[in-house]
Structure 1
Amino acid sequence: MAALSVPVLSFPHHPKVPNSSTVNNDLRFPYYPLLSLIDQCTSLNQLKQIHARMLRTGLFFDPFSASKLITVSALSSFSSLDYARLVFDQIPQPNLYSWNTLIRAYASSSDPVRGIFVFLLLLDRCRESPNKFTFPFVIKAASELKASQVGRGFHGMVMKSSLASDVFILNSLVHFYGSCGDLDSAYRVFRNIPRKDVVSWNSMIKAFVQGDCPDEAFQLFREMEMENVKPNDVTMVGVLSACGKKADIEFGRWLCSYIQRNGIAVNLTLNNAMLDMYVKCGSIEDAKELFDTMPEKDVVSWTTMLDGYTRMGDYDEAQRVFEAMPNEDIAAWNVRISSYEQNGKPKEALAVFHKLQVSKSAKPDEVTLVSSLSACSQLGAIDPGRWIHVYIKRQGFKLNCHLTTSLIDMYAKCGDLEKALEVFYSVERKDVYVWSAMIAGLAMHGRGRDAIDYFSEMLKAKVKPNAVTFTNILCACSHSGLVEEGTGLFHQMEPVYGVVPGVKHYACMVDMLGRSGRLQEALEFIEKMPIAPTASIWGALLGACRLHGNVELAEHACSKLLELDPRNHGAYVLLSNIYAKTDKWDQVSRLRKVMRDSGIKKEPGCSSIEVNGIVHEFLVGDNSHPLCKDIYKKLDEIAAKLKVIGYVPNKSHLLQFVEEEDMKEQALNLHSEKLAIAFGLISTVPSQPIRVVKNLRVCGDCHSVAKLISKVYEREILLRDRYRFHHFKGGHCSCMDYW
């Protein structure tokens, strides 16, 4: 009965077509009534009715008639590429138009590689050679796939044909090379176009914008005007995008007035480009003025405004925009989640993700999940991270490299390295970012030897390491004291792997040498660097001086760091710690006075622990928690038990001068990580690990206490500080006290 619901077409009464040769020789054939009905179809079922009729009459076996059927089945609003391919495969000798139509449809589909396969079949089976319409479609397929070598092959075929000067094909090649990031080749093709049209200029401008070369895009726009080529709305979208990348609001305003002065037609796309430019240039006022006057708005318009307010940190106004949106689609939710996640507000990001789940107004996509997993990573919140992993499985998301990398990062940063490894081994395709994430996870957990082994396996898998990979592997060597291995890898970066060392790699080397006690060697390394030392490099040396108590070198490193970054509170704190450790309290007081007078504030220590899906945060001496009485009672119990087994507080870790001995112990007892561990002891079952995340480096006394608690209470404690993980179990730490 379902077939009755399909509108039935009224077929014309027409004599049966005797054979294709008769049809082709009939001059009235283009107006054959049955063919005219193809253009009137509004559904695939109607098209199938005509197809069936064409088969019965023999009309289908005429190449022209079949090509009309192919066009509608492949390119209409109700198209079905699977059906179009079945139709195509029934045609005995498809004409070139039919081949081109199928290639065009595949090139714009989610599987453009099939367009290339059809092109290869064309070369083998079609009597005609590819024409000026064939090449742009197949080059588009190569662009979508970023298939550099394949596209170059098509370029070579064009050059050998009679089509080497066709502007339509050459414009496609400019777009192709731009999509592949080969701006030199794109520009070479562009310059060799004999008669450039506006599309030529637009394609090259877009290529420069996509390749993060806004200045070159501006220069081309100026040349375009000098050549008297009138820019259109597409040109202005490209130039406005370049302006957004430069964050040049004055030039952006000039472009908007240029559009008005030159009578360029302003449509929704161009308005959205102006809106996006204003937001990226930081002028939310200009954006709001334009937004309020736009005659038509779509989800891009609303989402851009939402993004603008979140960039400014005006979350209240962002919420109002969100609530006013006609349709709260997933793009809008993603802007809110990612803005919180990228601005250090992971709790808020997960709260928005939870609201999305409850509201069911949109379905999470890959962007949602990646941002939410990143928020879990920041918080060390493993429960919501696990829930997202289950959701990915249940919803049938393909575990691509982006999601795989995010899951590995989440599990590693939440302390479950074994689960991170399980995810890593569950996928067949591993790109450089998946390998790098796994190496980073091993580095964070102090498994330097394993990280080196995985780096070797990565090379065997023929995956080329990049700058991120080397940052991670050098960190792994630094945290595990593998100085010789790390040094060897560093010196191989450029000559063997073609990766030029950057600031992060030099900072890793300074940290590696300094952490191992080779402070003078670290200083000499800095002095011989081919690039100017940055604040991070002097900071690495200063941190090493803190570990080994070298006051003189610490003062030198601190002065260099403050020359580059006068308001770096970390520099003052590190030097203050070194002075405190060596009982130079007058110098501590002097530094703190400088900080007060300059309005520089130390980042407060904060530790968080997740219990039953809720993240609890503690500051030093915190008494705001509802269970604070129970927490401090537990701390007293811990102190008593540890004294019995001979624990003596390490008062050198106090960062202020305290005369009374009992007050020194009390001050150490108030550290945020101890409060979090105490809360974990009273809030979790003995079989459950206590997972704590601290925003700063864990202090030496807290590290000693955590080791003893893990033994006395027979509890596993996972403490993640700013730099790495510490696994405490049975009175030992995974870092082997090298941290």
Structure 2
Amino acid sequence: MSLLVDMARSHLEVTTINYNTALSALRKVARWQEALLVTGHLRERGLDPDWVTYSEAMGALAFGDQTRSALDLFREAKRRRLDDVADARAAVACFNIAISVGARDQNWYDVLGSLADMRQRQLELNVFTYTSAISACERLDDWQAALGLCAEMAERAVELDVRAYSAAMSAHARCELWQRALEMLSDMAPRQLEPDLDCFNIAIDAHALNADPQGGVGLLREMRARQLEPDVVSHNSIINAFEKRSLWEEAMGMLPHMRQLRLEPDSISHNAAVSACAQSAQVQKALDMISDMHEQQVEVNTKTYTAAIHACNRGEKFPTAMNVLASLRQLRLELDVVAYGAAMSACAGCSDWGKALELLQEMRQKQCRHGLVAYNAALDACAKGGRWQHAMSLLEESHRQRLEPDAISYNTAISAFQAEGRWQGAQEVFSEMCMRRVVPDSVTFANLQGCLEGPEGRSHSFFARQMSLMGEQGLQPSKDMYSVAISATLRAASSRTRGAPGAAG
């Protein structure tokens, strides 16, 4: 900056190119404050900035995490209607930086707008453009858009670098195209590209998403063979894979193995291990794991306790689940929708319908997004507590919330009538189920059968009518449903025969 001022004082001609050179030097050392001063001084001198000016200044700001200032400069550059053809490379660099900082700030408008603008200006999208845009999609969980960009890269035969492979692999893995993600890892070697830690971690995560722990372990070996040390993220993905296969012993065994490698398991590692215990209903192991986390001062969070509640529910230790919920509250941890669902399932196990409704009301007050899982859990608690009126109210409320009750919702509501044999109420629920084109299953008919066997169950033609109703709505009964219906009809016929005069003895 001082050199530029001295040149001006000496009446030497200072051009935009001189300022651009200074900005380039400042960008390389991430001195964004001085880059802003130089850009301002250029304007004061009455010089016109070009795309190079803006790309160098924006680069310095981006390196300094000054995303808003970088985007302000970008918008200024577009307003100036600069020559895209003369400085095409610098123009592309500006757009790439705008896409990159937009991705960092999760500003989808800037990312999409920049891509569209580049196409309109007929600027060539390069590998950096696509990689930044795919990363933006990743941060916004828009994996289909990311896949579309990957396909466009392939169509345009864009030469991929390691970072582009990493972004593309991540997009495919998250869209459950895990096989393609793994193929991309193999594609790198013929292109003389060395996969980095991120590439391997994404590939290991792809194996985890496919519940393939052995595939992930194989990649750990390959990493070491390449003199690339796996990190905590690598091992966490392996634990997740074990969790998906309900291999709780193997999942727990990864924690001491990590410590042997001088890697400290974090809360993600422990939560995955607790979840693995939950999958196999290893209640005590899950609770012991939480105690260990407290002793080792590993952060416990809502996910930790939710996994423990799931373990208790699977092991039918419902009072213990309620104690875990109490511990969660004592730590002043915020319940999320998954935690509420697990807690209400525990209430159902205890037939504590009042507590379930209390939790549902709490979700409403906190404006927590309460989905169908939460309603179904509360429905189950009311059904098991013999509160069919409350169950029906919840079913009606779920419609008002536009949650679209599923077969589980209707089956649970029907079961609420089963305890008291209120087959007429059950029939009304079933009729609504068919009218809303929710396909009944064998559980539906089993619950209906239970209602018919109650004190009010008198209609032997009940199942025939329900089959007919399904047909009217274009729903096809399954073999299991026919089996339940035939069984009920035979039992009814047998009962009538036994009750007929002279039928016995």
Specify the TM-score bucket, using the shorter chain as the normaliser: 0.5 to 0.7
Q: Deviations over 1:582-613 (max 9, x none)?
A: 548xxxxxxxxxxxxxxxxxxxxxxxxxxxxx
Q: 1:198 to 1:314 in 2, by over 3 A?
A: closer
> Which residue is equivalent to 1:336?
238
Q: 1:583 to 1:538 in 2, by over 3 A?
A: closer
Q: Secondary structure at the match of 2:230?
A: coil
Select which of 102, 112, 118 maps to 1:224.
Answer: 118
Q: 1:508 to 1:278 in 2, by over 3 A?
A: closer
Q: 1:354 to 1:556 in 2, by over 3 A?
A: farther
The correspondence of residues 618-629 of structure 1 with structure 2, limited to 5 A, is: none
Q: Deviations over 1:277-319 (max 9, x none)?
A: 4544342563243243453322221122223344456554433
Shift of 1:521: 0.6
2:355 is aligned with what amino acid? Answer: D
Select which of 152, 164, 187 maps to 1:270.
Answer: 164
Q: 1:476 to 1:169 in 2, by over 3 A?
A: farther
Q: 1:494 to 1:551 in 2, by over 3 A?
A: closer
How far apart in 1 are the matches of 2:238 and 2:280? Answer: 17
Q: 1:197 to 1:332 in 2, by over 3 A?
A: closer
2:331 is aligned with what amino acid? Answer: V
Shift of 1:379: 1.3
Q: Which runs of 5+ in 1 are unaligned?
A: 1-26, 29-71, 77-95, 101-131, 144-157, 172-195, 585-739
Select which of 413, 421, 445 maps to 2:325.
Answer: 421
The correspondence of residues 151-550 of structure 1 with structure 2, limited to 5 A, is: 166-167=72-73, 197-201=95-99, 221=115, 224-240=118-134, 245-246=143-144, 252-256=150-154, 258=156, 260=158, 266-279=160-173, 280=175, 281=177, 282-283=179-180, 286-293=183-190, 295-312=193-210, 315-326=213-224, 327-342=229-244, 345-346=245-246, 348-358=247-257, 360=259, 361=261, 362-414=263-315, 415=317, 416-433=320-337, 434-457=339-362, 462-464=366-368, 466-467=370-371, 468-493=373-398, 499-504=401-406, 507-516=408-417, 517=423, 518-529=425-436, 533-535=437-439, 538=441, 541-548=444-451
How far apart in 2 are the matches of 1:297 and 1:357? Answer: 28
Q: 1:352 to 1:539 in 2, by over 3 A?
A: same
Q: 1:439 to 1:508 in 2, by over 3 A?
A: same
Q: 1:330 to 1:205 in 2, by over 3 A?
A: closer
> More displaced, 478-487 or 216-225?
216-225
Q: 1:248 to 1:432 in 2, by over 3 A?
A: closer
Q: How many matched pairs?
A: 394
How far apart in 1 are the matches of 2:111 and 2:296? Answer: 42
How far apart in 1 are the matches of 2:126 and 2:97? Answer: 9
Q: Deviations over 1:392-426 (max 9, x none)?
A: 11121333333233333333433123432332332
How far apart in 2 are the matches of 1:560 and 1:366? Answer: 53
Shift of 1:520: 1.9
CA contact 2:308–2:321 (8 Å) conserved in 1: no
How far apart in 1 are the matches of 2:486 and 2:76? Answer: 68
1:308 is aligned with what amino acid? Answer: A
Q: 1:206 to 1:412 in 2, by over 3 A?
A: same
Q: Secondary structure at the match of 2:122?
A: coil
Q: What's the TM-score once normalised by structure 1's chain length?
A: 0.45
Shift of 1:382: 1.2
How far apart in 2 are the matches of 1:165 and 1:316? Answer: 45
> Which residue is equivalent to 1:662?
none
Q: 1:457 to 1:318 in 2, by over 3 A?
A: closer
How far apart in 2 are the matches of 1:336 and 1:164? Answer: 39
CA contact 2:239–2:254 (8 Å) conserved in 1: no
How far apart in 2 are the matches of 1:238 and 1:539? Answer: 50
Q: Secondary structure at the match of 1:166?
A: helix
How far apart in 2 are the matches of 1:248 and 1:166? Answer: 26
How far apart in 2 are the matches of 1:459 and 1:393? Answer: 31
How far apart in 2 are the matches of 1:314 and 1:289? Answer: 18
> Which residue is equivalent to 1:572?
479
Q: Which runs of 5+ in 2 are unaligned?
A: 7-28, 37-56, 78-93, 418-422, 453-461, 492-505
How far apart in 2 are the matches of 1:418 and 1:353? Answer: 24
How far apart in 2 are the matches of 1:561 and 1:444? Answer: 35
Q: Deviations over 1:508-536 (max 9, x none)?
A: 1453135413232113322453xxx344x
Q: 1:428 to 1:314 in 2, by over 3 A?
A: closer
Question: What is the aligned-residue identity percentage?
Answer: 12
> Which residue is equivalent to 1:86?
none
RMSD over aligned Cα atoms? 4.8
